[in-house]
Amino acid sequence: MIAALRATGEIMAAAWRDSPGRMALSVVLMILGGAAPPLLALALKDGIDQVVAGDVAGAVLTGGLVGTLAVCSLMLHHFAFIPYGEAADLVTVTMDCELIELANGSAGLEHHERPDYANEISLLRKEIGQYPDALVGLMALLSLGVSTAFTAWLLASVSPWLMLLPVAALLPMYATHRAQDVQNGARERSATVSRQARNLFELGTSAAPAKEIRVFRLQDEFRRRHHALWADEGRVLARAELRSALIEAAGQLAFSAAYIAAVLLSLRQAISGHGSVGSVVLVITLATQVNRQINSALEMFRRLQRMTRGMTRLRWLRALIAAHQPPPADAEVPDSIRTGIRLTDVAFAYPGTGRTSLHEVNLTLPAGSTVAIVGENGAGKSTLVKLLCRFYDATAGAIELDGTDIRRFPLDAWRGRIATGFQDFVRFEVAAGQTVGVGDLPFLNDENAVLAALDRASAASVIDQLDQGLTTQLGKTYANGRELSGGQWQKLALSRAMMRKAPLLLILDEPTSALDAEAEHQLFERYAEHGRRIGQANGTITVLVSHRFSTVKMADLIVVVANGHIAEAGNHASLLELGGTYASLYRLQAAAYQS
């Protein structure tokens, strides 16, 4: 209950901040709308008593009042929802923006990569879409509160015992609360299964996996698994539904008994001469209204609970993000690297796994050098890159740039001096030039800067093939959008990585997987040349993760990662001479190319 009140307060405050005028207007209309139905019942009582007493003039006047109140009770809610609906939409946009900010607000990636956190965030994304509905429900609750207060006062005027009727109305509300708890528990227990099912549904209905699904004839398997997962979830939810329906029915039954007792009491008063016919009508009308009020309140209560859960999750996410802020910075990122980046006894375990993905990593990346990282799948190459980007901080040891621990730099400033190209690059569906330009936001629309980046990434030909050049809308989400091939998208992503002119660290983590070996080789020759040029000026270090040894061999330093530690390090010639893992893998690939 406290959580619900807190959520209500937060959401109302947010709505008030966004549009005080709309909120004030709808509160006034809702209060009037809430008061109208019980006042209508009172006018009806007076009218009937006037008719019974033969007061025609009074009955006509009261009849007019009854009509006016009937119109008010029908119309006021409707008009109140117009400004309130608009306010609710505004709050939803505010909440959406906060979620975007929070999703990207922590120093690292833990909340996206840990399955339990990812689960919570995926539920929150779903719940936040229901906020307008919940907000409208909140306002309706306010109106119901006013109605109920008036109703209770009028009932008390007939007999103090009738005050118990709205109290009895709390029983079904409490029952609904318990029933929701049962359903929420079931939903949370089945959250993982439902996420798996949704994931399968996404896979089974989207365009990207369609080819593999056909070739591997996976559709039946997908259908079977999807069905089995939903069946599992359905069983848990159905049991919960049944339990909660029984709890709700018990609550409704308790109120029905109170309703019958109230009508009998007013009839007895009328028969014994302590009440009028109008009072009987008043009690029947009000009791019916209380019943309607309860049913609406139950529905509003459900919505409020959904919103409360969403707000609780949002608070959890806010706290999580606040707890994952980088330590205060006390050093400035230098303009250039003088000696290099040194990793000393670096170890790392992904949070929540307890498994070390990197251990005892000791390595120096010299200023101005091109460093290639090679190793088997799962060896720890990308993890090393994530530590350099500070998506995570090492669990032990230190990474130092010219002797300063990189954790001492302001995170934003550090990231501002890194340029990256990843294997799982983003396909920004915007104008082609902007897809590249976002690599250095201040130059987003700077045509010369974008063209220079395209040139550095040997990707100018991609733009040449587009009808409207840099202004061509990309992506199949848009009717006029131009779809590109995987390799073309990747070339634009590489150009994005080339936007920053003087990064301290240029990281290319298998960014050419969609390109052929020849294209990759040529590209890296250009990168190496570009890297050496900026390397001389700024000491820029280029880190390249690749499985293609023909490309790797041109690096100044080649690092072989195996099982989370550095197995070998040196240049191509020295590693061949060593005759270890690198030498055998290189010869294997070279032989494969020659045969």
Ligand X SMILES: Nc1ncnc2c1ncn2[C@@H]1O[C@H](COP(=O)(O)OP(=O)(O)OP(=O)(O)O)[C@@H](O)[C@H]1O
Tell which one of 54, 272, 354, 377 touches ligand X (CB under 6 A). Answer: 377
Strands 557-562, 565-570: pairing kind = antiparallel
Quickly tell me which residue has 């859960």 as its tokens: 309
Asked if 287 and 263 count as a contact pair (C-beta separation under 8 A), the reply is yes
Q: Between residues 379 and 528, which has the closer beta carbon with respect to ligand X? A: 379
For residues 101-140, which are near ligand X according to CB under 6 A? 113
Q: Which stretch binds ligand X (CB under 6 A): 231-239, 310-318, 378-386, 395-403?
A: 378-386
Long-range Cβ contacts of 97-105 (<8 Å, 24+ apart): 98/314, 99/124, 99/125, 99/128, 99/314, 99/317, 102/314, 102/317, 102/318, 102/321, 105/321
Q: Which stretch binds ligand X (CB under 6 A): 55-63, 98-106, 167-175, 379-387?
A: 379-387
Decide: is 166 part of the binding site for ligand X (CB under 6 A).
no
CB contact burial 10-38 (16+ within 10 A = b; e otherwise): ebbebbeebbeebbebbbebbbbbbbbbb
For residues 383-442, which are near ligand X according to CB under 6 A? 383
CB of 380 to ligand X, least distance (A): 4
Q: Between residues 77 and 565, which has the closer beta carbon with respect to ligand X? A: 565
**Which residue, among 200, 187, 276, 310, has the nearest Cα to 238 in the 3D structure?**
187
Asked if 585 and 547 count as a contact pair (C-beta separation under 8 A), the reply is no
CB of 568 to ligand X, least distance (A): 15
Asked if 154 and 286 count as a contact pair (C-beta separation under 8 A), the reply is yes
What is the C-alpha to C-alpha distance for residues 511 and 514, in angstroms, rounded to an integer? 8
For residues 18-47, which are near ligand X according to CB under 6 A? none
Q: Which stretch binds ligand X (CB under 6 A): 169-177, 333-341, 374-382, 404-412?
A: 374-382
**Which residue, among 340, 392, 393, 399, has the nearest Cα to 368 in the 3D structure?**
340
Q: Between residues 404 and 513, which has the closer beta carbon with respect to ligand X? A: 513
Q: Which stretch binds ligand X (CB under 6 A): 83-91, 131-139, 376-384, 434-442?
A: 376-384
Tell which one of 308, 357, 369, 472 touches ligand X (CB under 6 A). Answer: 357
Decide: is 251 part of the binding site for ligand X (CB under 6 A).
no
Tell which one of 229, 346, 379, 474 touches ligand X (CB under 6 A). Answer: 379
Decide: is 382 part of the binding site for ligand X (CB under 6 A).
yes
Binding residues for ligand X, how many (CB under 6 A)?
12
Q: Between residues 115 and 442, which has the closer beta carbon with respect to ligand X? A: 115
Q: Between residues 9 and 486, which has the closer beta carbon with respect to ligand X? A: 486
Decide: is 350 part of the binding site for ligand X (CB under 6 A).
yes
Q: Which stretch binds ligand X (CB under 6 A): 121-129, 199-207, 248-256, 349-357?
A: 349-357
Long-range Cβ contacts of 402-408 (<8 Å, 24+ apart): 402/334, 402/337, 402/338, 402/339, 402/340, 403/339, 403/342, 404/331, 404/334, 405/331, 406/341, 407/326, 407/327, 408/329, 408/330, 408/331
CB of 547 to ligand X, least distance (A): 7
Q: What is the pattern of x (binds ligand X, CB under 6 A) and - over residues 304-343? A: ----------------------------------------
Decide: is 381 part of the binding site for ligand X (CB under 6 A).
yes
Separation in Å, CA 518 to CA 489, 493, 512, 513, 595: 18, 18, 11, 12, 17
Tell which one of 353, 362, 445, 584 touches ligand X (CB under 6 A). Answer: 353
What is the C-alpha to C-alpha distance for residues 539 and 256, in angstroms, rounded to an integer? 81
Q: Between residues 344 and 423, which has the closer beta carbon with respect to ligand X? A: 423
Asked if 374 and 586 count as a contact pair (C-beta separation under 8 A), the reply is no
Tell which one of 34, 375, 433, 531 touches ligand X (CB under 6 A). Answer: 375
What is the C-alpha to C-alpha distance for residues 227 and 590, in angstroms, rounded to an integer? 48
How is 205-224 classified by DSSP, letter by letter?
A: HSSTTHHHHHHTT-HHHHHH
Q: Which stretch binds ligand X (CB under 6 A): 12-20, 182-190, 213-221, 375-383?
A: 375-383
Q: Which stretch binds ligand X (CB under 6 A): 236-244, 363-371, 380-388, 406-414?
A: 380-388
CB of 355 to ligand X, least distance (A): 7
Separation in Å, CA 23 to CA 32, 77, 158, 308, 368: 14, 14, 36, 20, 60
Q: Which stretch binds ligand X (CB under 6 A): 3-11, 350-358, 411-419, 481-489?
A: 350-358
CB of 556 to ligand X, least distance (A): 21
- Identity of the amino acid at 288: T
Which letter does DSSP use for residue 482 in this model?
B
Quickly tell me which residue has 């992503």 as its tokens: 493
Those residues whose C-beta lies under 8 Å from the C-beta of residue 57, and which sit 6 or more positions away, are none
Quickly tell me which residue has 């880190």 as its tokens: 543
CB of 113 to ligand X, least distance (A): 4
CB of 382 to ligand X, least distance (A): 3
Q: Which stretch binds ligand X (CB under 6 A): 141-149, 160-168, 371-379, 447-455?
A: 371-379
CB of 593 to ligand X, least distance (A): 20
* Displacement of CA 337 from its chain's centroid (Å): 38
Helix (H) or strand (E) holding 360: strand 356-366
106 DSSP β-pair partners:
none
CB of 411 to ligand X, least distance (A): 19
Asked if 593 and 521 count as a contact pair (C-beta separation under 8 A), the reply is no
Decide: is 378 part of the binding site for ligand X (CB under 6 A).
yes
CB of 513 to ligand X, least distance (A): 10
Long-range Cβ contacts of 480-483 (<8 Å, 24+ apart): 481/429, 482/432
Q: Between residues 113 and 299, which has the closer beta carbon with respect to ligand X? A: 113
Decide: is 565 part of the binding site for ligand X (CB under 6 A).
no
CB of 510 to ligand X, least distance (A): 7
- Identity of the amino acid at 526: R
How many CB atoms are closer than 10 A to CB 575?
24
Asked if 512 and 520 count as a contact pair (C-beta separation under 8 A), the reply is yes
Q: Which stretch binds ligand X (CB under 6 A): 37-45, 302-310, 372-380, 404-412?
A: 372-380
Decide: is 92 part of the binding site for ligand X (CB under 6 A).
no
Q: Between residues 179 and 559, which has the closer beta carbon with respect to ligand X? A: 559
Decide: is 512 part of the binding site for ligand X (CB under 6 A).
no
Q: Which stretch binds ligand X (CB under 6 A): 172-180, 381-389, 518-526, 535-543?
A: 381-389
What is the C-alpha to C-alpha distance for residues 346 and 214, in angstroms, rounded to an integer? 45
Q: Which residues bind ligand X (CB under 6 A)?
A: 113, 350, 353, 357, 375, 377-383
